[in-house]
Amino acid sequence: MKVLADKGKCCGHARCNAVAPDIFTLDDNGYIAVAEIIVPAEMEGQARRGVRACPERVLALDDDGMAATHGQASAPSPGNR
């Protein structure tokens, strides 16, 4: 499983990191650090909770090459912070 993040839309609420800090790392400014996160099988539940926790809906799950969104984002945009 992968988590895809639209970094350009991240507002830095850090709720994903609060729920699953081992999966969702933040940059020095408090924004999601990477656009694609490979999630180990044993951490998939935490990843799903982190995706659901994002109030801006910038995170999407990709279980099998097909992104399943929680909200608006379907794939990361090229934006960087």
Indicate whether 53 belongs to any domain: yes
pLDDT score of 66? 63
Query: What does the pLDDT look like over 47-64, one tens digit per residue?
Result: 999 999 999 999 999 987
Instruction: Check which CATH number belongs to the domain holding 43 and give it.
Output: 3.30.70.20
Confidence (pLDDT) at 64: 77
Q: Kindly report, residue by residue over 11-29, the tens digit of the pLDDT.
A: 999 999 999 999 999 999 9
Do residues 56 and 77 make contact, with C-beta atoms less than 8 angstroms apart?
no
* CA separation for the pair 26, 28 (Å, rounded): 7
Answer whether residue 21 is part of any domain: yes
From 2, 28, 1, 32, select the one nearest 16 (Cα to Cα). Answer: 32
**Is pLDDT at 72 greater than 60 in this prediction?**
no
62 part of a folded domain: yes
**pTM recorded for the entire structure:** 0.78
Which residue range forms the structural domain that includes residue 56? Answer: 2-69
Residue 75 counted as domain residue? no
* Dihedral of the alpha carbons of 49, 33, 69, 56, in degrees to the nearest 10: 80
Our count of domains for the chain comes to 1
Q: What is the DSSP code (8-state) at residue 23?
A: T
